[in-house]
Amino acid sequence: MTQLPASPISTVMDKHLTIQYAQFLPLKDWRPLIGDLVIWHGWFTHWFGFISSIDQNGMLSIIKAGLPALLMQMNQGEYAKNTIKVNMFKMLGSRNGEYAALQCPGGHPEKTVWYI
């Protein structure tokens, strides 16, 4: 997969607005961070989740839900109930768009990267 350069869009009204598109890279280049958004897609089903912890063996704890909005409305008990463990190396070796990850290192939107 080829990485395209960020494409700024400029709109002039009474101010100048510049929007940077997110970059994308192959999933095999992804190095998970706590807080990354993970999307899993299978036959007729999918889920969205946030990485809540990473252990030294490469197991990711992911809080998941069927819709992104549901992730934001969970309480602590629902977090525990909806947490799964996924092997990071299984994700990195997945094929055909099974997994995708969105990473925004340090909360800097200009560094947002989709790993597909």
How confident is the model over 9-53, as pLDDT tens digits?
A: 444 445 555 666 678 899 999 999 999 999 999 888 999 999 999
Q: What is the pLDDT of residue 11?
A: 45
At residue 61 the predicted structure's pLDDT band, cuts being 50, 70 and 90, is: very high
Q: What percent of the chain has pLDDT over 90?
A: 56
Cβ contacts of residue 48 below 8 Å, gap of 6+?
37, 38, 39, 64, 65, 66, 67, 68, 71
How are beta strands 83-87 and 23-25 bridged, if at all? unpaired
**pLDDT for residue 80 is more than 90:** yes
Q: What pTM, to 2 d.p., does this model score?
A: 0.77
